[in-house]
Amino acid sequence: MNRVLSLKKSNCKNCYKCIRHCPVKSIRFSDGQANIVPDECILCGMCFVVCPQNAKQVRNDIPVVRQMLQSGKRVVASVAPSFIAEFPVAGFEAMRTALQQLGFADAEETAIGATIVKKEYERMVAGGERSVIISSCCHSINTLIQKHYPGALPYLADVLSPMLAHCRAIKEADPAAQTVFIGPCISKKEEADLYGWTDAVLTFEELEQMMAEEGVSFPELPAEQAEGKRARFFPTEGGVIKSMDRDPRFHYLAVTGVENCIEAIKEIEAGQLENCFVELSACEGSCINGPGIRHHHATSTLLSETKVDEFAGQDEFATPAPFDLEKPMKFIGAHKQMPGEKAIQDILAQMGKTRPEQELNCGCCGYNTCREKAIAVYQGKADLSMCLPYLKEKAETFSGYVINSSPNGIFVLDENLCVQQINRAACNLFNLKNPEDILGSPIVRILNPADYFAAMNSPCPILEKKHYLAEYNRYVAESIVYDKEYHIIFSIMRDITREEEQEAARNELQSKTVAITNEVIEKQMRVVQEIASLLGETTAETKIALTRLKDTLQN
């Protein structure tokens, strides 16, 4: 179970947007629901940010922090330098004041920890210990390497992150203090759980919620007069490098966004770089674009970077006495069972992809290629129904089979009364060689459109209306349904020509029978009248009886 990210099952609607944006495809679909795979997840927060149904939720640590504040212990907040891009404050004093109103004993900038960390990076570069050094500030990148690219572990700086370094410095100064990190990142919650030093983590979103519930707002304080600090550059792209004193023997490279970082890691694993310090950040644009900011805010990345740039400077924070900054970066490993080629081909065949040209690699399912999707199916992370072209083709094949197997003429019109679909029975009904002869053309070419206009303007469908198609010498019973939601008119024509001809034949036979009967009756009445006149008897009763017989035959 993922201890940081979870799913609101009732909200997941099979849109596959999360898997499309997940850079490591750590999402499993089962029973129409998306489930995060903890062994593979790097907590980059992309699924949380892009989910259109808000089906992903981050663990809320507000209750934990409230309990800490009510315990009577000294609680100190470590606030990420990206706060300046998130909150309407001119400097850190407004942030400190608001946090103290919430019950914090004090608040400090995590940039102090960033200064400690960047000095360690400078020492590693100067010492020449490694030809390539990957920054270890981003927990999601660290996890990416530990789980998916262990070949890059020797290059990953085994150094505490600014959050951990700052919280440790706070505890070194006051062992009884409890620390709460406040920032834009959700992976810091897991990092705090794993490595200690940080007792709780709040996202900026959680802090906003907490302030709203407590009725606390930021005071209007003037901007700081003191010179800005270099470590405040950390949350921007290349910000770690901006804060460092560079060694001319080294190249300094910054990469943001997990997919871009993966390509960089592959190059590093392949040994294509040397004498490089590589700053990697999971979020595009770095921490000022973290999931704790992006989720409910549409803040411009450029505007955020401008705010950070104005707030930072070239001065240095005072740092405490040196302490151990080592952070073990062990291989975690994602447990994946890889299929053989035959298993992949079998799954591709089940998706209707028996030839290479049928592998569209459209990415609708969230995977880059059909082969990747097949591997995910084998691993139980995906199912065949996630392939949109497969489903579309299957649905079209099935519906086409049903429609074309129908003995009734079926066709679909758009609201302009142009033919969009027509089956074989309808083609035969209208003497058409191929559907293409009429598709896209107005129905008036083959039929009077009056009934279709009537159906569009009526709340009720037209059912089993009989009429004669003189041009085709056919009788039909037609049902017409207008679907307002999909803007189509659906017509089913049942050929009743044979029934009508049989009915006409029966009517003709009946008419002939009645005529013959009538002739016989008239003849018999004349005979009866002649006999009656000879006998001097009335013919009234006989006439009435024969007339009734005649009427019965006619009816």
Binned at pLDDT 50, 70 and 90, residue 280 comes out as very high
Segment 214-234 mean pLDDT: 80
Binned at pLDDT 50, 70 and 90, residue 538 comes out as low
Q: Which amino acid is at 228?
A: G
What is the dotted CATH code of the domain comprising 1-59? 3.30.70.20
Q: What kind and span of H or E run contains 336?
A: none
Q: Which amino acid is at 383?
A: D
**Which residues on neighbouring strands pair with residue 488, listed in sequence order?**
414, 483
Binned at pLDDT 50, 70 and 90, residue 139 comes out as very high
What tens digit of pLDDT does each residue of 37-78 get? 888 888 888 888 888 777 777 888 999 999 999 988 899 999
Among 143-147, 347-351, 381-385, the range scoring the smallest mean pLDDT is: 381-385
Q: Could you tell me what percent of the chain has a pLDDT over 90?
A: 25
Binned at pLDDT 50, 70 and 90, residue 535 comes out as low
What pLDDT is recorded for position 405? 78
Give the CATH class of 60-219+228-311: alpha beta
CA dist., res. 206 & res. 66, Å (int): 12
Radius of gyration, alpha carbons of the chain: 40
Give the CATH class of 336-399: mainly alpha
Cα–Cα distance list, 379 to 145, 375, 534 (Å): 21, 6, 109
What pLDDT is recorded for position 393? 60
Among 118-122, 125-129, 359-363, 369-373, the range scoring the smallest mean pLDDT is: 359-363
What pLDDT is recorded for position 59? 86
What tens digit of pLDDT does each residue of 1-45 get? 567 877 776 667 667 778 778 888 888 777 667 778 888 888 888
Binned at pLDDT 50, 70 and 90, residue 473 comes out as confident
Segment 113-128 mean pLDDT: 90
Among 87-101, 229-243, 263-277, 338-352, the range scoring the smallest mean pLDDT is: 338-352
Assess whether pLDDT exceeds 80 at residue 384. Answer: no
Buried b (16+ CB within 10 A) or exposed e, 505-525: eeeeeeeeeeeeeeeebeeeb
Q: Which residue has the higher pLDDT, 339 or 91?
A: 91
Question: Does residue 469 sit in helix, strand or coil?
Answer: strand
Domain-wise residue ranges, the chain: 1-59, 60-219+228-311, 336-399, 406-495, 514-554
What tens digit of pLDDT does each residue of 390-434 get? 656 655 555 666 677 788 888 889 999 999 888 888 888 888 888
Tell me the DSSP string of 470-528: TTTTEEEEEEEEEETTTTEEEEEEEE-HHHHHHHHHHHHHHHHHHHHHHHHHHHHHHHH
What pLDDT is recorded for position 78? 94
The closest alpha carbon to 162, from 211, 89, 95, 232, belongs to: 232
Buried b (16+ CB within 10 A) or exposed e, 163-185: bbbbbbbbbeeeeebbbbbbbbb
First to last CA, the chain: 81
What pLDDT is recorded for position 365? 63
What pLDDT is recorded for position 326? 83
Q: What rounded mean pLDDT belongs to the chain?
A: 82
User: With left for phi above 0 and alpha for psi between -120 and 50, is residue 216 left, alpha or beta?
Assistant: beta
What pLDDT is recorded for position 369? 75
Q: Could you tell me what percent of the chain has a pLDDT over 70?
A: 83
What tens digit of pLDDT does each residue of 154-212 get? 999 999 999 999 999 999 999 999 999 999 998 999 999 999 899 999 999 899 889 99
- Give the CATH H-level superfamily of domain 406-495: PAS domain (3.30.450.20)
